[in-house]
Amino acid sequence: MCGNLGLLLGEDCAFSAEDAAEAMTRVVAMRGAQSYGFWRATPSQLSVHRAVLRKRADLATTLRSALARKGRCQKDQRPLVVGAHLRFATSSRSFAKEAHPHSWLGPVRTEVNGIKTTRIVLCTHNGDFEALDIGKLFGGDSRPMALDELRRWLSVRLGRPAPCAADSCALAGCLDLLFAAGDATSAARLALARLDDIRAGDATLRSTLIDGLKAGLDADALTKLLKERYPSNMAPLSAPDAQRIAKDALAEFQKGDLRTAVVRVLKNAHGAFGVAAHASAAPGAVVLGSVKQPMIVGIGRGFVAYASERAALHVGCVGSHLEARYVLREGDVISVVSGTGDHCGAVLQRATLADGSFSTLEDFDGVSELMARPVSPSQFGGDVVGKDLADLPAVLRAITRSFEDGPNKMTASAFSSKLFDAQRRASSHLDLVIIGVECSLWVAEQWAVNLRAACPSLRVVVASSNKALAALTACHNAITCNGATPSETVFPPGLKASQACRHALALAVSHSGQSFPTLHAARALKAAGADVFCVAGQLDVVIADDVIGQQFAPGSPVTDRVFSTNAGIRLAEAASLTTAATHHLLTELLVRVARAAPARDVALSRHDLDELATLARTSVERDLPKLCGGAHDAAVVGRAWGDHAVEPLIAFTAALIYILVTVTAGLPIAHAIAQACGLSKGSPWNYVILFADALLYTFFTVVFSLLLRLIQGRTLLARFGKRTCLVLDVPMVHQCAVAFAQKLFGLSYGLNGCEFAGGNPGDHAVHKCLHRIVRGTLVAVGVPDGRLKALVDVECATFLTALQLKSLSNWGVGAEVCTVGHHSYTPDVVDRAVIFDFDRPKFLSEVRHNMGSTVEPVARRMLYLAEPTPSPPNVRGRVVGAVSHGSEQDLAGALASHAVVEALYEGRVASLERLVAFYVLFHAMAERVSRVSRFFFYLRFDTWRSQAGTRVATTPSPTSPAAAVSVATGLMDDVRRVESSAAFRDSMHRSRYGGSVLDFSGRGNRTARDVMDRSWRPGLMDMSHRSLTLNDVSAYSNLGLDLSSSGPSGYRFRLPQSSSDPSPPHLAAQPSVVHEDGSHHTQDSKESPEELRPAHAA
């Protein structure tokens, strides 16, 4: 749950790095952000910043401010490279030292191509690094090394322990080890790395190789030198081993550049990786890699941008200047090299992990209408949730139109055709597998129930993406995987999940289109032979590209496998519009599927489907705008409940002011009144007065709260303190509403917060919620429309649950109950009621049972148990179900068949209206609390985000991201886990070499202590708040690239070459190193300032 973003800006870029970084951060922050960091590199300076985000700080503005403090980069100082990372902790806690960018060695003094310089390798990484195959890394047999053991292994070879516990730091250590081009020290270290720990860390062997490389010896001479200086107290070194070490040292010295290091690491690593690497030796370059994590590169005049989120390239100034983009495929590594000249350009080259050879990248997609919609700046602040609710009716109307004449119509036709294909059904054990997480899953579950009701013959499975992924990959037996349900309870028994899904249709529901479990479950379903469709917020999502194969270049055809709500990116963490849009899209899909179903497979007539579609359309066009207008009763109730929630803060503030004023003035109020009335100081009544003042100090908050409640007309004897709110409704509604409300109050304080929980009143709400009831508990109850025969029993159960919760009271006061529904009936247990004044047409059951004005649920239930009567002739054309089920011959059978229509009305229309009402209620409540709190110590809070900031679930769960799916066996071959301590002891090979384990405390023998010799150990450095100016030696001089040719037209950097400068053309100016403390030296350097000047100046 991390995100990368970065920029390379040339002289002719039309915008600043600060503006672009702020806009891109708004979008990338959807992946979660507890801490952040960035590097900022110019040809003469490299600055690194890391920090933990304060709980209520806005990440985008915070990052912008931190970037601006590093100084504004003038155009003559470009190319400017900025690489940022937003971290959501997975492998370690959120501390500044755990934030990215990471560097194992930090800045070290070294000599590159004969020039003394300061070198640092930085990387940012989103994903999970689990292990590295050390054997394959050096061309041998497989030897996976788990992360703990890998850290110890790197500590020996790099000469210092890990700076922090993050998995990305180990990745940075691998890059520090493998990046050796032009650096004799690094090449010698890497050549010895494959040996055992004692010899790999020996200072004598390293110095021998360094001397030989600096002297320019060939392989034979270097081998001879190595044998001559080989320590006699070590295990013998065979001639082939010595030759191999010498050849490796020469090869790494010549070809071990940064981009090759990235390829080697990703090719042999286990995990998920979105990597951006940068080295001070190449200030205008960055290397990007993608394995099981998204990464995208965009180019425009004067800039190159990259990010983990596609939409980040379509936002703000970056989006307005974007000309083309490239989405990294699985295993892609991209090197971006920038330069300066009259015009800005860049050379982008691509390699795959399969071959590792780089060639010019030319597969850019020009900007087209198929790509992500630009994110509206209106989402960048203010009442973001309120804007989503205001947009909700328009978005839902657009979805309806898209099924009438748009891409969704084509996709629905393809989906229905495949779903009812006789040949496919005969060869498959399942018809449809539906997957999703959180709100997407809850909405999909209700749709699956409704789909089964409409088409009973369909074999439908709906499961959490995590459970489906576990069943498809690891949990094919009865053993649970990370708590996920075994496949036997999700998929048909007797078959492996991968076999059950063969030839089935799969529907992946994910608004972002890249939730990690949903994405990988979709990949697994496709590998199992399922035909994958998806429901997303827009066409340009990872599932559409990676799983379905949608192309986005101009003129590309639109796939018939993606249903799009066209809601686009929504930055509010409290999801309202996106959930409602997904629900309505599935409603339209259900109608289309049922219309396309063979007559034997559908329980509804065409007239029924037309009436259901009319009810849904009427709700979207007429009823929902009333709810979202801001003046509905739901908003009124929300503001009243907001007064409950903010009461502790107001009372605390009043008590604080009272204490400060009376104590400072020395006149407690009762004492002051007594003195004003002439009470003498010697009167014994003074003790009574002082006691009264003491009581008032003690219970001032209680007295003030009672007075405030009296003025506002609220319940006097409700419990004081933080309120609890319970939401009772069908599972989809109460789960989505509780998740929404909890995130609205995610940044609230202890004095103005509210706790939320929920339950299904027709199932387990009493057992889940009864113990939570105290005086003043807020209970919001969604009531199904019990005027319909199919729903009257559910309504009775709902009111019974409300009565049971209300019956718990103390001092005559219990919970405060508010009902939300379509019917005007409100029993005595209800304190408030939100009644929809929608003019819903009557249903057949209401007319045939002569409901009339009967409102009491039990009475209606008794009437429904009686025999139906014929309806009056003049009512037939205006009653839902009259055309299809109005037969006078079998009234009971007609009403039983019509019950399906009533159930679908509840599941597809009425439940959505109640859900939107809950959204409006809780949004008004949270906004009321936030706005009022602004006047009390300015304790207002943003309602559209929480501290986590996570909108997209990118955590690999429940299975390892490193493993690949084997459909043949249905089993995932995960990375071999090792016990790091035992494996490390074994890796020392003490029995073979007679050495001792590395002792970082210095208590081991001399050989072990030599590993930590100062010549190999840069001092530890906390770079969280340091700015370094580092010398530049271009490692890309070893790449053999012609940076002035072979790039895309208009995107080439021409490197300036001065005839008056005798230094090599790839060398830039090298000013002295400047720390933030004002000193002019590197951490380990003892050279004089003159030695840090440019080579030609020295």
For the stretch 988-1047, pLDDT in tens is: 333 333 333 333 233 233 333 232 222 222 232 333 333 333 333 232 233 332 222 233
Q: Among positive and negative, which fits the CA dihedral 703, 705, 708, 714? A: negative
pLDDT at 12 over 50: yes
pLDDT at 987 over 90: no
Angle at 832 between CA 830 and CA 835, to 5 degrees: 105
Return the pLDDT at 743: 94
SS3 84: strand
Range of the domain at 406: 379-603
Q: Is 917 left (phi over 0), alpha (psi -120 to 50) or beta?
A: alpha
Domain boundary among 544, 578, 603: 603
Q: Which residues of 224-243 are buried (b: 16+ CB within 10 A; e: fewer)?
A: ebbeeebbeebeebeeeebb
What CATH number should be reported for the domain holding residue 332?
A: 3.60.20.10
- Note whether residue 978 is domain-resident: no
- Note whether residue 134 is domain-resident: no
Q: What value does the mean pLDDT take over residues 436-461?
A: 93
What residue type is 569 in one-letter code? Answer: I
Please check whether residues 799 and 773 belong to one and the same domain.
yes
Return the pLDDT at 1008: 30
**Is residue 291 a contact partner of residue 1045, using CB atoms and an 8 Å limit?**
no
**Is residue 276 a contact partner of residue 287, using CB atoms and an 8 Å limit?**
yes
Find how far residue 724's CA is from the centre of its chain: 28
Please check whether residues 316 and 452 belong to one and the same domain.
no
Quickly state the pLDDT bin for 968 (edges 50, 70, 90): very low
Domain boundary among 913, 933, 953: 933
Contacts 24+ apart (CB under 8 A), 798-804: 798/728, 798/761, 798/762, 799/827, 799/829, 799/857, 801/728, 801/761, 801/762, 801/765, 801/766, 802/728, 802/761, 802/827, 802/829, 802/830, 803/827, 803/829, 804/766, 804/770
Tell me the C-alpha distance between 786 and 807, whole Å: 23
Lowest mean pLDDT among 83-92, 112-121, 323-332, 693-702: 83-92
Please check whether residues 20 and 97 belong to one and the same domain.
yes
Percent of the chain residues topping a pLDDT of 70:
82
Instruction: Tell the burial category of 909 from Cβ atoms under 10 Å away from its Cβ (0-12, 13-18, 19+).
Output: buried
Return the pLDDT at 114: 81
- Note whether residue 86 is domain-resident: yes
Q: Which residues of 103-140 are buried (b: 16+ CB within 10 A; e: fewer)?
A: bbbbbbbbbbbebbbbbbbbbbbbbbbbbbbbeebbee
Quickly state the pLDDT bin for 577 (edges 50, 70, 90): very high
Tell me the C-alpha distance between 783 and 207, whole Å: 80
**Is residue 688 a contact partner of residue 668, using CB atoms and an 8 Å limit?**
no
**Is residue 1055 a contact partner of residue 1044, using CB atoms and an 8 Å limit?**
yes
The tens digit of pLDDT for each residue in 86-104 reads: 888 777 777 888 888 999 9
- Note whether residue 671 is domain-resident: no
Please check whether residues 310 and 356 belong to one and the same domain.
yes
Residue 212: both structure tokens together: 């030989």
- Note whether residue 887 is domain-resident: yes
Return the pLDDT at 1013: 28
Tell me the C-alpha distance between 209 and 219, whole Å: 11
The tens digit of pLDDT for each residue in 591-606 reads: 999 999 998 889 888 8
pLDDT at 475 over 50: no
Please check whether residues 352 and 383 belong to one and the same domain.
no
- Note whether residue 953 is domain-resident: no
Q: What value does the mean pLDDT take over residues 318-340?
A: 87
The whole-chain average pLDDT of the chain stands at 80
**Is residue 612 a contact partner of residue 897, using CB atoms and an 8 Å limit?**
no
The tens digit of pLDDT for each residue in 710-768 reads: 999 999 999 999 999 999 999 999 999 999 999 999 999 999 999 999 999 988 888 88
Find how far residue 961's CA is from the centre of its chain: 16
Quickly state the pLDDT bin for 372 (edges 50, 70, 90): confident
What CATH number should be reported for the domain holding residue 842?
A: 3.40.50
Among 55-59, 441-445, 486-490, top mean pLDDT goes to 441-445
Q: Does 393 sit behind a cis peptide bond, omega within 30 degrees of 0 on the bond before it?
A: no
Please check whether residues 500 and 405 belong to one and the same domain.
yes
Return the pLDDT at 471: 83
Please check whether residues 288 and 409 belong to one and the same domain.
no
- Note whether residue 60 is domain-resident: yes
The tens digit of pLDDT for each residue in 654-665 reads: 999 999 999 888
**Is residue 307 a contact partner of residue 24, using CB atoms and an 8 Å limit?**
yes
Q: What value does the mean pLDDT take over residues 299-317?
A: 90
Output the CA–CA distances (angstroms, integers) from residue 946 to 715, 748, 822, 933, 943, in the order listed.
31, 9, 33, 17, 8
Domain boundary among 880, 907, 933: 933
Angle at 135 between CA 133 and CA 138, to 5 degrees: 110
Please check whether residues 791 and 824 belong to one and the same domain.
yes
What CATH number should be reported for the domain holding residue 430?
A: 3.40.50.10490
- Note whether residue 673 is domain-resident: no
Strands, E, within 281-439: which ranges?
A: 285-291, 296-300, 303-307, 322-327, 332-338, 346-352, 359-360, 365-366, 432-436
pLDDT at 858 over 90: no
Please check whether residues 816 and 746 belong to one and the same domain.
yes
Tell me the C-alpha distance between 308 and 837, whole Å: 46
Q: What value does the mean pLDDT take over residues 663-692?
A: 82
Residue carrying structure tokens 């300015």: 938
Please check whether residues 744 and 884 belong to one and the same domain.
yes
Q: How many domains does the chain have?
A: 3
The tens digit of pLDDT for each residue in 115-166 reads: 888 889 999 998 888 899 999 999 888 899 988 899 999 999 998 999 988 8
**Is residue 974 a contact partner of residue 985, using CB atoms and an 8 Å limit?**
no
Query: Which pTM value belongs to this model?
Result: 0.84
Quickly state the pLDDT bin for 272 (edges 50, 70, 90): confident
Residue 890: both structure tokens together: 């079998």
Closest C-alpha among 193, 201, 152 to residue 1005 = 201
Q: Phi, psi at residue 852, to the nearest 5°?
A: 60, -125
Return the pLDDT at 1092: 26
Please check whether residues 11 and 82 belong to one and the same domain.
yes
What residue type is 920 in one-letter code? Answer: V
Please check whether residues 748 and 888 belong to one and the same domain.
yes
Quickly state the pLDDT bin for 1070 (edges 50, 70, 90): very low
**Is residue 858 a contact partner of residue 877, using CB atoms and an 8 Å limit?**
no
